[in-house]
Structure formats: structure tokens, C-alpha cells
Structure 1
Amino acid sequence: MSLTPQGQDRVPEQRRHGGGARPGHVPDGDRKRRRRRVLRWSAMVLAVVILGTAGAGYLYYQHLNANIKKDDLNIGDKKDRAAESKANEAGQTPLNILLIGSDARNSKENQKLGGAKDTYNTAPRADVQMLLHLSADRTNMSVVSMPRDTLVDIPQCTDPDTGKSYSALTSEITNDSLGRGGPGCTVATWEKLTDIHIDHFMMIDFAGVVSMADAIGGVPVCVDANIHSKSSDGHGSGLKLKKGTTYVKGVQALQWLRTRYGFEDNTDIARAKAQHQYMNAMVRQLRESATLSNPNELRKLAETATNALTVDDGLGNVAKLYDLSKELKKVPTKRITMTTMPWQYSTTNSGRVVPRPGDAAKLFRLVREDIALDGKDKKRSAKTTTSSDPAAADNRIAVQVQNGTRSSTRLAVTGRAGAIARLLVGKGFTEAVADSSTILSEDETVIRYPSADLQGDAQRIAKSLGIPLSSVKKSTDVSGVTLVVGADWRSGTKYTTTEDDDTTPASAQVINGSDKKQCMHVNPNYTW
């Protein structure tokens, strides 16, 4: 599920360090890398679904336990970690599981599948990243994919095996996080970006995907015209299907998952859509398949899945995975929602993408607040916690105002900190001052305070400006009440909140798990 501009691919010498892209020529190594990415993705998805549907088939726990590899959950700096998810009124807690597809070529099998001999045993990359959110009441599940070339801030990470410390990085591609100490650094990167607490991770290599696709008897996929993903200059996966629905398995399933040239606009966005369609169809197929009642077939699936898994200690044996499977099975297919993190191309780094301002933050908030992305939750009443410590008099509340209107695509609005500081002074907060020395990047306006005795003051500032109390947050990064004017308030003196808008952004490209009418549009240049 990579994202590069149309017609561009990585050049071989830049693979390890996430180098730029160039148009035209598609080296053999790049085609092999696409195949590997698909293998990783498919193995990951299949393993997760198997665990969510085939619990009764685990007939030999101890043998399977020995297959599972384990690693540390979060190896980032403690200050970058998100707070644990809050329980609902019934005492139930949501589960957030980061699914990671690794491109490691650290075994003969992975090397055979992966090729690229020059990268054997080099630092792995997290080319596939999906956050699976299981709601607290277990009525719905949301999956958020992040494009592999998304530019993010990677926190400081420490390798738990060697003790090596990797310094924090700014605006680096997210898939490089895995090579900085292991999957725990990818988890830390997600938490820093989204402020979503991650309970577990499951990392999958790319071995066994073809045999697993065969074992479940094929997955139904649909195209709206005959397709042959093959061009005169060598582009394409080789996929050849007739118009309508086909059950793909083995090599053909692999071709479907790696097809970019031939679907819609020949981009990785269309490829991601095809992968989501395949995943949803596979979930339905696995849940309906009689194959899963056959102990021998089930054993083969379980064997392959556990051999491919690396998990945190919290999921470190089959009994724990079985407990998770029982939770996943509670969600009906019609309440599974697949999305892609809203994104846009970077204006400063060709071929890379960045979280789409506003939309990405909103999607992360919905997940963080356990709001179903399919829009079928009951309307929730707004709840805020008012400080028990009363605020000081307005003219005695010290508040520092900072400019956070800069984004990855837009420059900061000059003078915003001063303008809002003057607005506060005019409202009677005479100790409000602007910090003109600092320019930040903050998607949404936020008020931070360092300790409980200042919560009331921070909330008083929020109320005076019409900022929701949910935007008032405790933080050890500030020494006093600090208002950061975000990219959502680039002009004017009236703050407009979208807090009550809990609809999933259209840019998240929602696909529902029960939608059997999904059908990929074929690019007219790739029909036969």
C-alpha cells in the first residue's frame, strides 16, 4: 500500500534509506519488491483473520506457541507515549492493535521470496502499517492504513536487544521506523503521531501467502471490465481477469494484490482500494468457508500464520491469541470498516505524502474516542470534566500564546500568536503574552497546562474563546498555561469548533466489510 506519484518507482540504490522516486524504467528489483510488499500484506491480513475466526481449530497449542516470535511493545521515549484508553460506562476498554508488514530478509525463505541479495540482513522496513481498533463494546471494528511513504516525526527509540539508542528524526518516512530497534519503534511512532494508545502489535513476514490463499479456496474479487495488467513497456502485475467476479487464489491472488497498473488511475491509492476489497471479501469467505471446519486445513493455516508472527508479550502465546480471536469474532462483518489515513502529497519531498491537515487529525480523534467509523454509533452526549479547582481572576491568569498554524503544506500565518494574545487582553486576561520566538505545527488549537492546580485557569481561557474543553490537555511539555493557535484557526477572532462532527472524513476512503458490490474500475488502457 505504498504511495508514489503515478508512473514512479524507487530506484534500487535508495531502497534501504527510503530514497526518492524517478519516472519511467521499472527495474526487476522494484517488481520483486512490489511482490514482497503484497506477500507481507496478505500474510498479515490472513493471519489476523485466521486468529479471529479459527479459534476452535487450535489443537496443539504448545507446538504453535514455539512458532511465535516476541518483541517489546514500545521502545520509544516515555514522553511520546499516549495515555491508556479510557473504559466506557460499562467498564469495557477498546483494543488497538498495530499490524506491521516487515520486509526483512533475514532467513533463507524470506530471502528466496524477497530477492534483492544486496539487502540480505539489512535493516527491515515497515512497508505495511494498519491500526486495528476494536471498540470497547465489541460491536464494531475499524482499520486505518497508513501509506508507507508518509512523512512523520519518529521519536527516540532504544533497541531492547543491543541497547543502541536512535535519536529522534523529523519528517522521515514512517516505514524506516522498524529498522530503529524493532516493531516497538513503529508503535512509538504511531503513538506520537496519533496520540492513540496501542495495546498490542502483530508483525508478519511474507512467507506462505500463496499456500494460504489456496487453503481457503480462493477469494471473490470483481472488475468492471476485462483486465490485463501488462503494458508494452513492462508495467503491470500480469493479472488477467474477465469482467465480473472471479475467485482468485495462489499466484492470481498475488497478482490482484500487487496490481497498480490497470486499476483506476494506475496509482497506489487504487491498489490500496483493491487490497481493501480483497481483505473484506476474504473476511467474509473465511467466516463462511467450510474449509475452516476441516481440522487438517485449519492446522495448515494456523501453522503458517504462527510461523509468520512476531508479537508483543501480551499476545505471546496461542492462548492469548485465542482470547483475542474470541473478541474479534464478536464483531459482525457489516460493522467492519476499512479506511486509509487521509493524506496529500508533500510539497517539499517529491514522491512522499503527509497526513492531510484536519482530516487525518479528525480520523485519529474518532479512533481515540472510540467512535465507530461507519457512523452507526448512537449519538453520544458531550461530556467534559470541569476542574474542581476554581480558576483565578481573569486578570491574574498568566497564559502564553504560541503560533501553531504551520503545516506540512502551508506556511505559518504571521502574527497569529500576537493577535490572539491581544484578543485575550481585550477580554480582561491582561497577563496574556505572545511567544513570537516559536513557530509550531498543530492541526487543532490546543490549550496545555502542566499541573492540576492550573487546569481551572486553562479551562477558563478555553471558555472565553469558545474552545471546547476537550482541547484542554495536561502536558509536562509546558511550564504554565499555554495556548497554541492551530492550523484550524488561521484567521479571525472567533474560534469555530467541529467537535460535534463525528462523521468519518470522505478522504478516508471508507469501505464496509459487508459490501459485496465492491468492484474495481479498470483503466481503459489495460482492457482486452
Structure 2
Amino acid sequence: MAEPGDLGWDEGLYGEGTRVPGSRTALDDERSPDAAQAENGSGGGHRRGGPRRRAKRGKRRILRGVAITVSVLVLGTAGAGYMYYEHLNSNIRKGERSSADSDVRKSAPNAAGQTPLNVLLIGSDSRNTAANLKLGGSKKSVGAKPLADVQMLLHVSADRKNASVVSIPRDTKVDIPKCTDPKTGDEFPATRDLINATLGRGGPGCTLATWQELTGVYIDHWMMVDFAGVVAMADAIGGAEVCVKHGVYDGPKPNVPGGSGLRLEAGTWPIKGEQALQWLRTRHAFESDFGRSKAQHMYMNSVIRNLKDQNAFTDTGRLMDLAETATKSLQVSEEIGTVKKLFDLGMTLKDVPTSRIAMLTMPRIPDPDNPKAHVLPAPGEADRLWQMLREDAPVDGKAPTSKPKPSAAPKDPAADPAEIGIMVRNGTGVNQDPTPRRAAAVAGLLTGQGFTGAKADGTPEAESRTQVLFPSVDLGGDAHAVATALGIPASAVRKSSEVSGVTLIVGADWRTGDTFPKPEPAAGPPKNTETVMGDDKGACMDIYAPYRI
């Protein structure tokens, strides 16, 4: 039978070890004369094939068997782990990140080279599975295109030390860009509609594209969940505590059919499963979509506190359970479509203190065309919120945690204003007629400041935001000089291969007026909205009087 050494293993690991010939050890000096004679093959000692040698070989066989068994177990465990990892990956349903073209760019890195993370969270009202139909809706809704009735943007600061969640109500009227459904190839023209209709106009990638056009915030990924997924995730997480100031039953009322079915006594209660879904869907008892958003924020904050209290971010067993459920329940954009990438994404919240997690709803005003049912982003305040997200400024009004990178001066200095050639294009016609002669008007503003080379350019263009483009590094200083003269932020200046000289595109954000519109200074939290902080354990929902019990 082969010995361990014959297989390339070190005998010293399995028997009594070997000596270098000619060497002596402490054991040599302690051996009896009989033992020395036996080793030399003389005297009355044991021979090499005697009981001691057989015992030694027996020990080696046992240890060799243990080693083989351990090796098989290690390899088997590794194989099983790999198979389970692949199983989790196969659960994940993926889709295209964006279904529309966009000129929105990622935020610049901070002083440490880090960039913010923006993830769009979408709740679909699809009833196109038996499980979803059972949880809500009627048979009439089967086959209908889903609506994105819950939309939240998770923003995590570049240094991962503060975070915010911003909701946009489902009945917000917005400009929806041209989208292409990645599954069917169907094209949907640009339109103006409620934001929840985006899901049926190219999938979650169209919802993401609409958010980008509205906010100017680059969104890295989307994640979407349906009714059944919410129930499964709520159970896997272990539920969350919620609070109501009065007893509530969100059931049908005269002339107000439907309702989530939520029924709770006054006080604080743990909820999970279908009851968690009822809480998240309740609208009438919370008086409006804005009340529903606030209740959703309370639930999410409670979930995050719960996970942190359970050490779920570091507990391998809990992570495995959550991974199994999450990969079955979520649909995600394709660039995060692996377990590792989802795990890394989840870890971004691990070190964010709950005291620096702010959740709020977009500041809004009634839509003049339908003030009772629809809303619009509030001019000024909504713009200021989007600016805060773009600039990675915390929306809770507290001190920033991430230091911005100092602005670098253009490598090439600007020429004399009179020597700079500038083409001005009218890009104000986004989902509406462009402002007549807008390019000529802005070119006139530049001429009045000494930029006599500014000319109106009739090239068709439509851009949501004003931008100054330049084709090569040597014209960067000229482009920044144009932006400075008109009060356009430096973030709107960028290099582009699509222009042949300095080109100013006047976007839909500057349809009228001689001064580029600026949002209010980003100081303090946004106004005209509800903000719920992550560490507020005492948050409790008001109940609309007709639904109190």
C-alpha cells in the first residue's frame, strides 16, 4: 500500500516525523540501549517489521483516511456553495437600465474620489399573476399594463455616511421622454402624462429615464417589486413596527370603493406579510397619496432599524435567507443582476447611521388642469431638492459628511469675449412647442456682454436642461466663460464630440427671461413636504376621520 510520502504528502504530518541523517535530537539521548539496537538491526530489540512498525503504519492509514475524507468534504462543500450561488443568480430577473436616450451624467467624484449612489425603487401594481391577483385587484385588471404606483429614489452619499429617500406621488404630471420597450421593441413617443404610466411605456427603464429628465440626477440602477414580492420580503425581514394614532379600517365607503383592508387598533404594532402590503397600499385612511408616502417611509425606516438591530448585515444565516427571498422577489437592472452585486449594494446602508437617513416626498402644487387629482413639482422647492441630490448635499439640513472636490480651472484660458464664436440653439421644445426666437434672444444677451460672435443656430434641438458644449480641450476655457457670463452653473459645461465649436443649447429649464433661473439656496431641508427621519421611533400616522374605528 502506498505511504503518504509516495502521494506527495509530508509524512511528518501523519506519523512520528523523520530525521535528517546524521542528526541527533533530544529523543536520541533518551532512548534505551534496546531501542538503539533495534534501530540498527542488532541485539534483542524489536525488528523493523515488528508490532511497533505495524502500529505506526496503522496510525498512518487512519490519518490518511481522515485527510482524504476532509479533502472530499471541503471540495464537496465548495461545490455545493458554488451550485447554491448559481441557483441564487438564476432566480434574478433582469432588465435594461434605461429605455431612453439621456444627456444626464454622473455626479463628479468627491475629494476622495467617491461618487454618490442613486437607486430607483419601483412598486408595480401588476395583477398578471395568480398571486398578485389574489393580493389585490379584480379579474378586469388581468392583462392590463402595470402602473408604477410606488416610486422612490434612494440616494446614498458618496462617502456612504448619509442617505435619503425621495418619493414622487403616482399622480404627478411630468414630461415622459421617448421610450423603447426592450422586450418587444415597441416605441412610445414623448408625451406628458402621470408618472405612474411610465412602467407601461417601456418598462422600469422608462420610469428611470423619466426621473432622470425631471431631476437631472443620474440614476445608477432600478429595483422593482410586485405585491407578492412585498409580502415575501416582509416575511423574510421579520416585519416592522408601525404606529397609528387611532384605530383604522381601510375598507370601502359610499362612493369610495376599494381599500387596502388594513385593520389596526390604535398604538404600535408589528406587521409582516399581507398586513405589511396592506399598510404600504393604504391611501384613503391616510387621506392621500402624500399620507401613503409618509406611511411607506415610516415602514422603511422601521425595516432598516430592524435589520440593524438583528445584525442582519453581518449575520451569514440571515443574509442567506434574505438572499433567497430577494432574488425571487425582485426585478433589477441588468448591471446589478448578480448576487454579489446585490450584496454589495445592500452593504452601502450598513454604515449609514439611522439619524442620517431622511425620507421625504417631492414638494408639489396642485395641477391647474386637474387640481383635485393631479399634482406638479413645486417650482423652486422641487428644483432645490433636485439640486441637493445632484450636488450630494444632505436633505436633512445637517452638515455635509462628504467633502466636494475643488473645481478645477479650465486647462486652456478663455479668449477675449469678442473672439469667441458661439452657436446658440433653441432647445426649449421638450414635449411642447419651443419658445419662439429663443436662440436669438439669448444670443442677444451674450452680444450685450461683449460676446459679439454669438449667433442663433437653427439646428433642431430639444433638451430638458441648458448646457454649454465644446469639442476640444483648447475651447474649454471659452465655454466656461460663456456659462459664467449668463450665470449657468459649471456642471452644465461639458466636452462633446457632437459639436464643432462652443455651442449653447437653451433648454426647457430656461424658456423665458434674461436671467438663467436658479433654485433657492440649498440651505436646510426642503419646504412643503413631509420628512421622516430614520431614528424617529415615535413616528405615528394620523387617520382620516371617516376611516377611524
Superposition TM-score tier, normalisation by shorter sequence: 0.7 to 0.9
Matching of residue 387 in structure 1 with residue 410 in structure 2: yes
The change in CA–CA distance for 1:308 and 1:514 in structure 2 (over 3 A counts) is same
Shift of 1:218: 4.2
2:452 pairs with one of 425, 430, 433: 430
Counterparts of 2:366 and 2:178 in 1: how far apart (Å)?
26
Distance in 2, Cα, partners of 1:125 & 1:231: 22
In the other structure, the counterpart of 2:276 is 253
Shift in CA distance, 280/368, structure 1 to aligned 2, threshold 3 Å: same
Aligned counterpart in structure 2 of residue 88 of structure 1, from 86, 91, 110: 110
Shift in CA distance, 72/428, structure 1 to aligned 2, threshold 3 Å? closer
Q: CA deviation at 1:377?
A: 0.8
Q: Distance in 2 between matches of 1:81 and 1:485?
A: 12
Matched, 1:335 2:356: yes
1:215–1:291 distance in 2 versus 1, CA, 3 Å: farther
Distance in 1 of aligned mates of 2:248 and 2:458: 57
**CA shift for structure 1 position 514:** 0.8
Q: Is the CA contact (8 Å cut-off) linking 2:89 and 2:339 kept in structure 1?
A: yes
Q: What is the correspondence of 1:216-365 to structure 2 with a 5 Å cutoff?
A: 216-230=237-251, 232-233=253-254, 236-263=259-286, 266-289=287-310, 301-348=322-369, 351-365=373-387
| Comparing 280-289 and 204-213, the one that deviates more | 204-213
Q: 1:451 to 1:297 in 2, by over 3 A?
A: closer
Moved more, 342-351 or 129-138: 342-351
- Counterpart CA distance in 1 for 2:221 and 2:174 is 21
Counterpart residue identity of residue 196, structure 1: V
Aligned to 1:449: 469
Decide whether aligned partners of structure 1 residues 424 and 274 sit closer, same or farther in structure 2, where only a CA change above 3 A counts: same
CA distance in 2, matches of 1:468, 1:315: 32
TM-score between the two structures when normalised by the length of structure 1: 0.73
Deviations 1:194-238 (A, max 9, x none): 333322222212215446545555422223344444575155544
Deviation at 1:122, TM superposition (A): 3.9
For the 8 Å contact 1:259–1:271, the answer to whether it is kept is: yes
Name 1:21's counterpart in structure 2. none
CA shift in 2, pair 1:161/1:434, >3 Å: closer
Q: Which residue identity lines up with residue 337 of structure 2 in the other structure?
A: G
Aligned AA (1:123): K
Pair 1:127 & 2:149 matched = yes
Distance 1:299 1:421, change over 3 A: closer
Shift in Å, 1:382: 8.1
Partner secondary structure for residue 310 of structure 1: strand
CA distance in 2, matches of 1:129, 1:58: 35
Q: Distance in 2 between matches of 1:297 and 1:383?
A: 42
Instruction: Identify which range, 66-75 or 238-247, moves more after superposition.
Output: 238-247
Please list the CA deviations of residues 5-30 of structure 1 after superposition, one character each: whole Å capped at 9, or x if unmatched: xxxxxxxxxxxxxxxxxxxxxxxxxx
Cα deviations across residues 387-442 of structure 1 (Å, max 9, x unaligned)? 22333322233445677889999x99999876655544333233445689999886
Measured after TM superposition, the shift of residue 97 of structure 1 is 1.8
> Tell me, which stretches of 5 or more residues in structure 2 are unaligned?
1-80
1:185 maps to 206
SS at match of 1:97: strand
Q: Secondary structure at the match of 2:149?
A: strand
Which residue identity lines up with residue 413 of structure 2 in the other structure? Answer: P
Q: Secondary structure at the match of 2:171?
A: coil
C-alpha distance in structure 2 between counterparts of 1:253 and 1:152, whole Å: 30
Does the residue aligned with 1:328 lie in a helix, a strand or coil?
Answer: coil
Give the Cα separation in 1 of the matches to 2:221 and 2:211: 12
C-alpha distance in 2 between matches for 1:179 and 1:343: 24
Which has the larger displacement, 225-234 or 455-464?
A: 225-234
Q: 2:122 aligns with which of 100, 106, 110?
A: 100
CA contact (8 A) 2:468 2:483 kept: no
1:72 pairs, out of 67, 78, 96, with 96
Report what 2:218 is aligned to: 197
Return the letter of the residue paired with 2:268.
T
The residue type paired with residue 172 of structure 1 is D
Using the alignment, how far apart are the partners of 1:195 and 1:510 within structure 2?
22
The answer for unaligned runs of 5 or more in structure 1 is: 1-56
1:362 partner amino acid: R
Q: Give, in angstroms, the shift of residue 166 of structure 1.
A: 0.7
After superposition, the Cα gap between the structure-2 partners of 1:232 and 1:334, relative to the gap in structure 1 and judged at 3 Å, is same
The residue type equivalent to 1:69 in the other structure is: R
Deviation at 1:361, TM superposition (A): 3.0
User: Which residue of structure 1 aligns with residue 190 of structure 2?
Assistant: 169
Aligned to 2:228, the other structure's residue is in SS state: coil
CA distance in 2, matches of 1:458, 1:291: 50
Q: Are the counterparts in 2 of residues 81 and 191 from structure 1 also a CA contact under 8 Å?
A: no
Q: Can you list the C-alpha shifts for 1:253-279, whole angstroms capped at 9, x where unaligned?
A: 33332332333xx21111111111121
Q: Secondary structure at the match of 2:365?
A: strand
TM-score normalised by length of structure 2: 0.71
Cα distance change, pair 141–450 in 1 and its aligned pair in 2 (3 A):
same
DSSP-derived class of the 2:351 partner? coil
Structure with larger RCO (C-alpha < 8 A, sep 6+): 1
Secondary structure (helix, strand or coil) at the match of 1:507 reads coil
RMSD of the alignment, in Å? 4.1
Change (3 A) 1:408 1:483: closer
> How many correspondences in the alignment?
463
Whichever residue aligns with residue 383 of structure 2, its letter is A
| Distance in 1 of aligned mates of 2:203 and 2:459 | 36
What SS does the aligned partner of 2:219 have?
Answer: coil
